[in-house]
Amino acid sequence: MTKLNNKIINEIKALKLKMMNTTNLLATFESYGFILNDIDIDSSLVIFKHKFDYEIILKLRLISKDIFCIEDIKINHNN
């Protein structure tokens, strides 16, 4: 397997506008094989990397203490 299958990509896209806490956010993306790569607090961006050269960039909105809403999801394939 050299790329993510469409089912996983669709499940990730379905997370848009879903609220979750930090633990759930990390666990969700780790379950798909992604690791946390970078956090840009000023831009509210979280970047995850995958071993198959995929990158997911999440734009988050803080709802309350430790509760986030995913406003936007970008999936890039760097081959």
How confident is the model over 47-59, as pLDDT tens digits? 999 887 889 999 9
Please provide the average confidence, as pLDDT, over all residues in the chain: 89
Q: What is the mean pLDDT of residues 30-46?
A: 93
**pLDDT at position 56, please?**
93
Angle at 42 between CA 21 and CA 11, to 5 degrees: 40
pLDDT of residue 63: 93
Per-residue pLDDT, 1:
43
- Measured from the Cβ of residue 70, the count of other Cβ atoms closer than 10 Å reads 20
**pLDDT at position 79:** 64
Query: d(Cα 55, Cα 11) in Å, to the nearest integer?
Result: 15
**Domain extents for the chain?**
6-77
